[in-house]
Structure 1
Amino acid sequence: MLSERQQQRQARRLILMARCQQQRQDLIWQSSQLQHELRFVELGLRTAQVLRASPVIVAAIAGALMIIKPRRVMWMLKTGLSSWRLWLKFAPMLMPLIPLLRRWRLGSRESQ
């Protein structure tokens, strides 16, 4: 028979284990949300690499857009510039996470 103190310890242990399980589930959910968002970052980085490698494409697209809708082009440039500034601000924090999330994603695929 367990003493009252042992019962309290056991109850506390069960509560702590349940809390840990909930925190694990929360972390998995948050990681999946972040992984989804980082896909767009990776797509943007790949696009930037392609555009950086071929400036003729950039010039052709910019020329075509200026002919079609100058106001829309200005809006896109403004949005792109503010997005770039935002990226520069958060890139030092996000870039180290990308390899970690890739490894985590590969690990979760292997366990299935």
Structure 2
Amino acid sequence: MSCRAVGRELNLSHTAIRLIAKHGATGEVKDRSRTGRPRKTDAREDRALFRMARRNPSLNSVQLQDLWRPFQRPPTSTVRRRLHAAGLRARRPVRRPLLTARHKTGSTKLVHSKAGVEN
């Protein structure tokens, strides 16, 4: 009998039936480990990269690569993937003038009023 048929009879979703079957077989419901190449970095190294990227938002992936693991140098694509997965994406900072014309006239008036100079 399929999971869907059992689910219909017990008034449960087929996903719940699948999880119950998995728990009965393995004793737990978390996913089993899969085969594949192991990751080059662990969670601690990834957090260090995220900290560096937040502290120095103007650095690009090549510069972060040099700072992050200077002796092992992971590929820049790995650096970009890790940052992207953490939600850290490249942003161009907004450039604004330090002082607008209004600031300049206001500060000039303030200086003149303090010095007792009239326009």
Instruction: Give your verdict on TM over 0.5.
Output: no
Higher percent of residues as helix? 1
TM-score scaled by length of structure 1: 0.28
| Bigger relative CO (Cα 8 Å, ≥ 6 apart) | 1
